[in-house]
Structure 1
Amino acid sequence: MTYQTDLKLFIDGAWQSGEGRDCMAVTNPATGETLAELPLASKADLDAALLAAERAFPVWRGTDVEKRGAILRKAGSYLKANAKEIGALLTQEQGKPLKEAIGEVYGAASMFDWYAEEAKRDYGRTLVRPVGQRSIVQRQPVGVVATFTPWNFPIYLLAKKVAAALAAGCSVISKPPEETPGSTNAVAKALAEAGLPQGVFQLVHGDPDMVSRHLMGSPIVRKVSFTGSVGVGKHLMGLAADGLKRLTLELGGHAPVLVFDDVDLDATLDKLVPQKFRNAGQVCVSPTRFYVQEGIYDDFIAGFAERTGKVQVGNGMDDATQMGPLAHERRLPAVGDLVADAKAKGARVMAGGEPMGNANFFQPTLLADVPLEAKIMNDEPFGPVAVARPFKDLDEALHQANRLPYGLAAFAFTNDLTRANILGDMIEAGMVGINSFAISSADAPFGGVKDSGFGSEGGKEGLETYQVVKAIHMG
């Protein structure tokens, strides 16, 4: 499929092209070729987006919930009807295999479908009062929302924020990643085709620091939702403090995987390895730190290494590809340096460990016996590298799982139900998968604890994060 070249901003219901604006190149990480030129928003563009969102908010807030839901459902239908074409854009921009990209588009559509219905279940409550008095509690939209999303799941993460905010009755200004504009523009097209009123949704690309400072510096924006790194999240907290803006932060993780000796090892490995190398490991909840009970550790390492060596790496547009490139050329030295540090400190390379070919490809990698002082045991690699260590018992496994300041996702594999209950209770993470990696769905909250952020997206919690609570008392 030929990549679309007509990239634009979407402000106040109209598409804005590149005339008079700075532009940046969009490249294919698998080939290095330039795909298109992306226009970047100026401060004047951001001001126009702010004014449009402010003007549209009372209109959208007052729109009947049935009509809101119908528009969201139409947007979801547009995404599903065009999933193959949008997925191909995503693969060319970001690198992930086409099947994964198409699946991401369907995942984004599921967000619009689910929140179209959840908006109708947004009930308040009545408090017990003496005869003749009434006290009720309502949830109301917070106002104009600014969202910031990353490049690893650009369509899904954008839809997760936007669908909930629109369902709540908010107007939205979104800054998706500049690396994947063709696929994220499809969300704006879906909403425009669905009949969303003018100004309710704007999509702008631009210099991240300038855009975040300008939008968050405006009193028009009442709420900010960000998905990205811990460092940037802390920076945005500082910007939000000046205006006392509400925040949802979904930040980095370093997900532990606890594997106990009562599992079916082959069946467990068949689950673990594909998940580790999904999206080349560029997943905030990617299983990364593998702690394996010592009685099965050697067999685990052998089986993981064998499967890792069979992962087909290549251009995501090729049907045989199971893992594509890293999304940025800067990720190659970052991942390589972590592997080199681990090797220097005593880790064994059981598979991979090197860049491969041209462009941004890195071998699927397994490191065994990785010492705790290695950087990769403490810093998220965000790449196709699994690290493994043995453990003796449940207490040691829990200590290692909770050792880091991150707490986004964690996973455990065991057939002991009592142990599974303890793990679910004691692991410090916003999401825990027991014998499963299915932790992200439209109807479930997604978010972290500790340095992995606060607030949730998805589920009824995702709707509530775009609302304020009001108590009304009548005597």
Structure 2
Amino acid sequence: MGDTIRNPDGELFVDGRWIPSSARDGIDVEDPATRATVGRVAVATDDDVDAAIDAAGRTWREWRETSPHARTAIIMRAAQLLRDRAVPIAEAMTRENGKPYGDSLDEVAYTADIMDSLATDAPRRFGHVLPTAAADGRTMVVSEPVGPVAAFTTWNYPLTVPGRKVAAALAAGCTVVIKPAEETPASAVALAHALADAGLPDGVLNMVFGDPARISSRLIASPVMRKVSFTGSTAVGTLLARQAAEHAKPTMLELGGHAPVIVFDDVDVDAVAQQALGAKIHNTGQSCGSPIRFYVHENVYERFVERFGELLGGVSVADGFAEGVGMGPLANGRRFAAMEPIVRDAVSRGARLVTGGVGDDSVGYYWRPTLLADVPEDAVVMNEEPFGPIAAVSSFRDESDVIERANRLPFGLGAYLFTGSAERALRIPGRLDVGMVSVNRFGVGARDTFFGGRKESGYGSEGGPEAVEEYLVRKLIVQS
């Protein structure tokens, strides 16, 4: 399907105007399953970016005064429009990102649910009243929208990441200029269309594509923009945070991870391996919450390696539209090129290649799910996020030692714990230095929960009521 059906045009959306790629210089959009060009995204000029900034600044005071219930209604209408348009959005997502079509449909539904949840938090901007010494006085703390937001999103979840970022900011009463990923523009454009069709006033949301460095520096330097929200790599996120700091602008960063998995010997090993299969191949391993470092108790280590390897070796890797596909291609050539050196490094340091370790980019960017066993701590895969379908397994004996190993990296997004002990399940999460812990299941965060990390995985929340709080500032009001 990828090389015969073109995606919707990658338009800019500036002050309520749609600017097609035919009206600007463009960037080709590639189908990672076929390497065919399936679309083109418009490249914003400096004037386009400035017009988007002006629109966000001009409309934000009116939008902040729009009743929270009215904002809620618009966001929820847009969420329903995404559900109504799920099929074409999912088709475009698979064509641009490569993930299986069923997963793309799930992402549309998941994003709509997140938007509903964030929308309902709009009327809940709570403040508080403080007692005063004077009988005729009153002291209050209130929450107000921070102002126009510059948002930047990545390609791995091309609808969910822009959807939750935009919905949270709009719910809080902020206007937005967003630059989604040029590799996967169709999903973000569909989001903008849904919000516009739901009645969002012109200029409240603006969307630009183009040169990331030029656009980000222009947005961040503008005195109109009041906050920076970024999802992506740690390297880029820290660069943007430094730029924002030069203008005393707050940032919200959701960056990379390197999730450890601790498996004790009191679990059903086959059941954990089956769960691990789904978690590892999901989105072709291109997720900040993807499990990477598997620390398995020595008593069940070989059994886990054997079963996990069997399962990974049986995965069907194909075009995301293929019948029975288990895992699609990597999203781009950069990710494909990164896989082989990671495997080669681990093997050179003594790791055992259990399955996978090979790929084929002659047609698309296909890489076999890969399991490495007996991996030493100094291997690249144990220290740098592979962002692909590679899992590394090492054994442990002592609980304190494995917790120290799990915590040793500068990343702190998510971690996973599997144990049959209720006492251990309650105690160990508090010792893991991450923002999110899942016990006896994979997956961190849900439609209506906090989602964020610590250390070099960033700060702030992309989900739950805390996500709306990210776009609010507090004000003290003293009356007499």
Give the aligned partner of residue 446 of structure 2: 441
**1:31-60 CA-partner distances (Å, limit 9, x unpaired):** 010011211001000000000111110110
Give the aligned partner of residue 109 of structure 2: 106
Q: Which runs of 5+ in 1 are unaligned?
A: none
What amino acid maps onto 1:118 in structure 2? Answer: D
Instruction: Tell me how far apart the structure 2 counterparts of residues 316 and 225 of structure 1 sit (CA, whole Å).
Output: 30
Q: Secondary structure at the match of 2:151?
A: strand
Identity %: 45
Give the aligned partner of residue 53 of structure 1: 56
Give the aligned partner of residue 24 of structure 2: 21
Instruction: Tell me how far apart the structure 2 counterparts of residues 210 and 441 of structure 1 sit (CA, whole Å).
Output: 34
Could you tell me whether the CA contact under 8 Å between 1:280 and 1:384 is conserved in 2?
Answer: yes
Does residue 79 of the first structure (1) align with residue 82 of the second (2)? yes
Instruction: Tell me how far apart the structure 1 counterparts of residues 19 and 453 of structure 2 sit (CA, whole Å).
Output: 36
Give the aligned partner of residue 173 of structure 2: 169
Give the aligned partner of residue 338 of structure 1: 342
* Match 2:432 to one of 414, 427, 431: 427
Could you tell me whether the CA contact under 8 Å between 1:5 and 1:35 is conserved in 2?
Answer: no
Q: Which moved further from structure 2: 375-384 or 325-334?
A: 325-334
Give the aligned partner of residue 140 of structure 1: 144
Q: Which moved further from structure 2: 414-423 or 139-148?
A: 414-423
Length-normalised TM-score, structure 1: 0.98
Give the aligned partner of residue 291 of structure 2: 287
What amino acid maps onto 1:416 in structure 2? Answer: S
Give the aligned partner of residue 474 of structure 1: 479
| Deviation of the 1:189 alpha carbon | 0.5
| Deviation of the 1:357 alpha carbon | 5.7
Cα root mean square deviation, aligned: 1.1
Map 1:230-245 → 2, pairs under 5 A? 230-245=234-249
What amino acid maps onto 2:307 in structure 1? Answer: G
Give the aligned partner of residue 368 of structure 1: 373
| Deviation of the 1:18 alpha carbon | 2.9
**1:97-131 CA-partner distances (Å, limit 9, x unpaired):** 01111111111111221122111222211112243
Does residue 199 of the first structure (1) align with residue 203 of the second (2)? yes
Map 1:297-336 → 2, pairs under 5 A? 297-336=301-340
Instruction: Tell me how far apart the structure 2 counterparts of residues 292 and 263 of structure 1 sit (CA, whole Å).
Output: 11
Q: Secondary structure at the match of 1:184?
A: helix
| Deviation of the 1:19 alpha carbon | 4.5
Length-normalised TM-score, structure 2: 0.97
- Matched residues, number: 475
Could you tell me whether the CA contact under 8 Å between 1:255 and 1:410 is conserved in 2?
Answer: yes
Map 1:146-161 → 2, pairs under 5 A? 146-161=150-165
Give the aligned partner of residue 417 of structure 1: 422
- In the TM superposition, structure 1's runs of 4+ consecutive aligned residues that sit over 4 Å from their partners are none
Instruction: Tell me how far apart the structure 1 counterparts of residues 8 and 67 of structure 2 sit (CA, whole Å).
Output: 37
What amino acid maps onto 2:211 in structure 1? Answer: D
Could you tell me whether the CA contact under 8 Å between 1:447 and 1:453 is conserved in 2?
Answer: yes
* Match 2:399 to one of 368, 390, 394: 394
Give the aligned partner of residue 258 of structure 2: 254
Q: Which runs of 5+ in 2 are unaligned?
A: none
Instruction: Tell me how far apart the structure 1 counterparts of residues 361 and 51 of structure 2 sit (CA, whole Å).
Output: 45
Q: Secondary structure at the match of 2:122?
A: helix
Could you tell me whether the CA contact under 8 Å between 1:124 and 1:139 is conserved in 2?
Answer: yes
What amino acid maps onto 1:134 in structure 2? Answer: R
* Match 1:34 to one of 29, 34, 37: 37
Could you tell me whether the CA contact under 8 Å between 2:279 and 2:443 is conserved in 1?
Answer: no
Q: Secondary structure at the match of 2:260?
A: strand
**1:300-319 CA-partner distances (Å, limit 9, x unpaired):** 00000010111111000113
Could you tell me whether the CA contact under 8 Å between 1:146 and 1:223 is conserved in 2?
Answer: yes
| Deviation of the 1:5 alpha carbon | 4.1
Q: Secondary structure at the match of 2:41?
A: strand
Give the aligned partner of residue 190 of structure 1: 194
